[in-house]
Amino acid sequence: MPQLISILAFVLLLTISVPQVFARTTPEDIFNERRETYETKRQTFSLENQKKLDLYEEEIKNLNKFISEELENNTLRQGEILNEYILRNDIPTVPETDGIARNLSDPVENARYWITYAHEAIAFQAAKNYMFGLSSEANIDRDIIVQIGALQNDIGILKGKVEKSKTALIQMLKK
Amino acid sequence: MINAKSIIAVVFIAMLVGVLYVLFEKNFPGTPAAGESTYSFGEKKSAPVEVKPQEKSSLIKLPEAEGSPEPITGSTDLLKEAESLQMRDNSTYFEELKETVND
């Protein structure tokens, strides 16, 4: 009997000590954690400054949305032009590959690749969130300006991608 | 009378209760404990949820979105159409917004 109890106790101890399986940390988890820290810090600020932060967060969001939509319309138009070109020249559809093998020396494939690339980058930018650093309450103006600058910088990079896809499209049309 | 068997039995029951408690907590994380409010993972327990008003930009004036362009047809000059695709210079919006911060 004591041996049986010992075995049972050992099995139970093993069950308890089974390590927990932790879920993989996703970008959403990281954002939520940052957001929680941000909200905690924001609530220590004066009501006036909290309202200011909320206002500029909304302004940055609106501006990002406005520009992203314009750039998206631009790339969608590029896609329409590409489709019409393919239709007019009766270019056969390239079979789907694994995404690694691409023939970018082919002007049509090159244009298609860069338009898709730009379009995806716009979707990523549109979903991007800008959170203020909140270094201290005295520095909120600087923190806000830093985030406006970050958005400006991101939009500049994004416009470069849209310009690149347009260039690829024009090169294809000129051939 | 307390003997070795009764001590082992008590320890065994205590461990069993402990195991059941741990398993119950692991398998039913959504079940609220007594006096505890329900909440989802990653959601703050203490801070009240603030509903922010959905407003359009009020500090800077953004232009109205452009209407849909003419559809591309068989007679459209594709090269001309592609070359006419322009991106707006947005730098003034950023500068205007930055200027409002210090006001």
Cβ contact, residue pair B62, A66, below 8 Å: yes
Chain segment A35-59, per-residue pLDDT in tens = 999 999 999 999 999 999 999 999 9
A79 contacts in chain B (CB < 8 Å): none
pLDDT in tens, B1-20: 678 888 888 888 888 888 88
Contacts of B5 in chain A (CB under 8 A): 1-2
State the best of B57, B84, B100 to mutate against chain A, taking most chain A CBs within 10 Å.
B57
Residue to mutate among A48, A62, A70, A167, with most B CBs inside 10 A, is: A62
CA distances from A23 to B23, B43, B72 (A): 18, 17, 48
**Least-confidence region, from A44-48, A64-68, A113-117, B31-35:** B31-35
Cβ distance of A159 and B87 shorter than 8 Å: yes
Burial A21-39 (b: 16+ CB within 10 A, else e): eeeeeeeeeeeeeeeeebe
Q: Which amino acid is at A40?
A: T
Contact residues, B window 14-43, toward A, CB-based 8 Å cutoff: 15-16, 18-19, 22-23, 26, 42
Q: Which of residues 39-98 of A touch B (CB under 8 A)?
A: 39-40, 43, 54-56, 58-60, 62-63, 66-67, 69-71, 73-74, 77-78, 80-81, 84-85, 88
ipTM, interface predicted TM-score of the complex = 0.77
3-class SS letters over B19-31 = HHHHHHHHHCCCC
Structure confidence at residue A40 (pLDDT): 93
- Cα separation, A54 vs B41, whole angstroms: 24
Report phi then psi at A150, rounded to 5: -65, -40
CA atoms within 13 A on the CB side of A172: 30
Q: What value does the mean pLDDT take over residues B57-63?
A: 83
Mean of all residue pLDDT scores within chain A: 88
CB contact under 8 A, A74 and B87: yes
Report pTM: 0.69
Phi, psi of B39, rounded to the nearest 5 degrees? -155, 155
Catalogue the long-range contacts made by B62-66 (C-beta closer than 8 Å, 24 or more residues apart): B62/A62, B62/A63, B62/A66, B62/B93, B65/A66, B65/A69, B65/A70, B66/A70, B66/A73
CA-to-CA distance for B89 and A39, rounded, in angstroms? 34
Domain boundaries, chain A: 25-174
Residue B36: per-residue pLDDT = 46
Name the range with the highest mean pLDDT among A16-20, A82-86, B59-63.
A82-86
The rounded percent of chain A whose pLDDT value lies above 90 is 70
A3 reaches B (C-beta below 8 A): no
* Confidence (pLDDT) at A28: 82
What's the first-to-final CA gap in chain B, in angstroms? 84
User: Does the pLDDT value for residue A8 go beyond 80?
Assistant: no
